[in-house]
A and B are shown apart, each in its own frame.
Chain A
Amino acid sequence: MSQIYILCVEDEPEVLDVVVRDLSELEEVFPIEMAVNAEEAWDIIKEIKQRGDKIGLAVCDHVMPGQKGVELMIEMQKDPFTQRTRKLLLTGQAGLDATIEAVNKAKLNRYISKPWDPVELLRIARDELTTFVIEQEKDMLPYMAVLDIERIQEAIRTKGTISDY
């Protein structure tokens, strides 16, 4: 079975620490990878691809030295490997223009502004991963432990019905 990863990209270590900490509940099922800039994020993405694993969710800051969060997400949207990855912008610093670009060109799924509510962040991450698993995985059972069980069950029922034809 291939692993589904969560990728966190944030240039400030003390912020990255708390983001990862807030998502750590999901970590047993969805391993977390951390990058302090877009370049490192790409190294990690390539590595995960080589192993035959997937990236289910990318949580990115916007303002970083080098490639910006929104640019990184646009690149990810162009790459077939990361096109399906759910994309969450976690930032206090993306202007309206950058955000519009992210929605239009990167198919941004969520926007959370800093400072964030940890319960909300976790809920949203779980929701997005649930969507990813429903869309991408035939066998959803291994992920159920940390996901939205109701939605997974509903999906299993629907998919089951479809496959009955």
Chain B
Amino acid sequence: MTSNPIDDKRIEYARNIVQANNKNAYDKSLVINRIKELLPTSSLLGKLKKTFTEGEIVIKEHQQNDKLYIILDGYISQVKSGAGMNTPIDMLGPGDFVGLLSFQTGEPAFTTTKATKTVETLCLDHQNFELFLTRYPEISKIIQGLIFSNLSERYRRVVTLHVEVALLSKQLEQERNQLQKAIAELEKTRNMLISQEKMATLGELTAGLAHEINNPASALLRSVEYLIQSLPNMAERASALPDTGLVRFFFEAGFKREIDASGTIRARQKVLSETYPWISRGNIRLLSEMNEAVFAKIKPFMDNKKNQELMILLIEAYQSGVFLGGIKLSTSRIEYLVKSLKSYSRQSGAEPEVADIREGLKETLMILGNRLNDIVVTEELPEIPLVRCYVGELNQVWTNIIINACDAMDDKGELIVTCGKSDDDYVWISIADNGPGVPDMIKNRIFDPSFTTKTAGGEFGLGIGLAITKGIVEKHSGTIKVKDRPKGGAEFFIKLPIWKPAK
């Protein structure tokens, strides 16, 4: 039944209001002082005196009470039970009555009163009360006034409390509105941060992809430029050949070229440049690339020192074929990259799809290829049941974890991506690295939005990647944990519920 300090304060506050509102009340000290004066000489009063020790209950709520107490010294707390708690009502001090209502009306006590410290009271039953009033008529009048003042004080207090409750409600309402506004604001900021982090991931991916596309794009561009020059040339001169089919033959040979070991090519190059000193180095280089069957067809044209035109034409045809092959290869590489990107970043629809999450994992590894140049990636991805999910969002999960692993390993090391079925209800995906691992101290914090090991500047992200990751996994009713690998490094272990078709 201990009340907390805030409640005590409120009582104090209420008392102050009451006293401030109660200037016309009878002076309580008057009667108390008079009683105290009489006490040493009056045997009646001496008998009526009753002392309560700290914590002692004066009157218990709901019980009948036939006594009236006048407090002479000390304070008594008044507590009302109900609604599963004890509410402090008032603190009664010298000159206050305890049990006035139950004493007068005979109804059960309305509150529990308890001594806060040692309290001196005058305890009157009905008989004593009459006796007391008769014996001390000079106090009797004051007592009556005091009773009236006590009741009116209580009434004023009720009024004050009503006002206070109204004020509190108004304040609460205001605070609630402010809170709602703050929550809306927070939600907005959170969404902004998430999309900023998404943009950052996207930035990293785009940078990687731009690099990834650069190589085939260069090959493509340069090959096309070469063909623009060489094709009209070839067409013009092809009629000079005894067999125009030869151009086609060399063109196709170049297109289907399979490169021999560089040592073999260099050995051939050496022999050829010694045997045919009149042929230019560039042409010798291309001739030494040709396999035996192709070489046999061009050899007759090589021996003619005076007329190299036809040999050059066939070499050009061959190289055009090589470049066209390069164009085909580059185009399909770019196409593959773009296709992967499209499928990787597919926007989540309103409805989740039933998908094989291994595909998203593989696409993510593909897209991040640029970051994984120096990382030995082991994929052990046996068939697992389908999962109902937002594919694009899960791809963000894989991306965040893999990029973190790359950062942790300084882009050098090994990455092991595995999956499996853990029981009838879940599949698991594990992404492990052999970096420094996650120190125990921060294991619990790495998924917090406010936690990052990334220093400001020079990084793409905001460091809330893992918080978003966790959010996405939980949205899919899954779990994510980070563990230590026995051989060192960190392992992120994700469990997702298996899709169960509706019966």
User: Which residues in A have some Cβ–Cβ distance to B below 8 Å?
Assistant: 12-15, 17-18, 20-22, 24, 27-28, 31-36, 40, 43-44, 47, 63, 65, 92-93, 113-116, 118
Contact = CB atoms under 8 A, between A and B. Distances in A.
The 4 A-B pairs with the shortest beta carbon distances in the complex, nearest first, are: A92-B214, A14-B326, A18-B222, A115-B218
Contact of B215 (A24, A31, A114): A114
Interface in B361-376: 370, 373
A17 B210 CA distance: 21
B288 to A, nearest CB: 11
B282 A115 contact: no
A93 B213 CA distance: 10
Given A40-B262, A92-B215, A32 B326 contact: no
A92 B281 contact: no
B214 A28 contact: no
Given A14-B325, A17-B326, A92-B211, A114 B218 contact: yes
A33 B284 CA distance: 12
B97 to A, nearest CB: 85
A40 B266 CA distance: 12
B373 A63 contact: yes
A63 B375 CA distance: 13
A13 B323 CA distance: 10
A31 B281 contact: yes
Interface of B: 210-211, 214-219, 221-223, 225-226, 259, 262-263, 266, 280-282, 285, 319, 322-323, 325-326, 329-330, 370, 373
Contacts of B219: 12, 14-15, 17-18
A22 B223 CA distance: 10
B280 A27 contact: yes
A92 B370 CA distance: 11
A93 B266 CA distance: 29
Contacts of B221: 115
Residue of B210, B211, B215, B319 with most partner-chain A CB within 10 A: B215
B222 A22 contact: yes
Residue of B219, B263, B281, B285 with most partner-chain A CB within 10 A: B219
A115 B326 contact: no
Contacts of A17: 219, 223, 322-323, 326
A140 B221 CA distance: 35
B47 to A, nearest CB: 97
Contacts of A31: 281
Given A35-B262, A118-B225, 15 more contacts: A17-B322, A18-B219, A18-B226, A20-B285, A27-B280, A32-B282, A32-B285, A40-B262, A43-B263, A47-B266, A92-B218, A93-B370, A114-B214, A114-B217, A115-B218
A20 B263 CA distance: 18
Contacts of A32: 281-282, 285
Contacts of A44: 266
Contact of B282 (A27, A33, A92, A113): A27
A145 to B, nearest CB: 13
Nearest to A18: B222
Contact of B223 (A14, A27, A40): A14
A78 B322 CA distance: 37
A98 B325 CA distance: 32
Nearest to B223: A18
Contacts of B217: 114-115
Nearest to B323: A17
Contacts of B285: 20, 27, 32
Contacts of A24: 282
A111 to B, nearest CB: 14
Nearest to B222: A18
25 contacts: A12-B216, A12-B219, A13-B326, A14-B216, A14-B330, A15-B219, A17-B223, A18-B222, A18-B226, A18-B326, A20-B285, A21-B226, A27-B280, A32-B281, A32-B285, A36-B262, A92-B214, A92-B218, A93-B211, A113-B214, A114-B215, A114-B217, A115-B217, A116-B218, A118-B222
